[in-house]
Chain A
Amino acid sequence: EPEVTQTPSHQVTQMGQEVILRCVPISNHLYFYWYRQILGQKVEFLVSFYNNEISEKSEIFDDQFSVERPDGSNFTLKIRSTKLEDSAMYFCASSPTSRETQYFGPGTRLLVL
């Protein structure tokens, strides 16, 4: 069964550094998403992406964040100048259309020191 994959599974970075989290969505899916889960808190929506554009973003998704589909398979989340509070599990998801369910990847655990 096709699945969403994410790399790396864990990343440790120093405060102020830039990180790029990578996702490979399911191949025939057109909509892509990032969610975040701070330890002990709810999973929160960050951004959705379709046709090389952001279709919706939450108030969390400020100028520090950006998303990109650099090629036909990858979908990336870039966090510029990381802060301690960016430490969280980041989940990627994809769906065939905006009206169908989203399939989630296993997550990347980011730790900012």
Chain B
Amino acid sequence: KQEVTQIPAALSVPEGENLVLNCSFTDSAIYNLQWFRQDPGKGLTSLLLIQSSQREQTSGRLNASLDKSSGRSTLYIAASQPGDSATYLCAVWEGTYKYIFGTGTRLKVLA
């Protein structure tokens, strides 16, 4: 049974720092992995989608990498800003009907 874990659970950094959020999954047979942002009490905003054949995806200050064989993905945020404060979720799709979500990393960027 697929399990998705995110470390750390919470992170607080000063503005301007580069940071890395980690996501690990137990079964490497995935079709894609998606990173989402969730603001408090709000919905899910898709940030980056990495297909299983890809190693990384970039969007602006965000870069996500995928190492399927080791069951890991990282989300790199460059030059963090207070507006980046949110919970970041990763989710894997195994080709069945559902995404399996991680526990999330709650990020706070201090001005």
Contact = CB atoms under 8 A, between A and B. Distances in A.
Given A56-B96, A101-B32, A101-B93, A107 B44 contact: yes
Q: How large is the interface on B (under 10, 10 to 19, 20 to 34, 35 or more residues)?
A: 20 to 34
Interface residues of A, number: 24
Contacts, number: 52
Contacts of A98: 97
B54 interface: no
Given A33-B97, A101-B49, A42 B43 contact: no
Contacts of A103: 46
Interface of A: 31, 33, 35, 42-45, 48, 55-56, 58, 89, 91, 93, 98-99, 101-107, 109
Closest 4 CB pairs of A and B: A106-B43, A45-B98, A48-B97, A43-B101
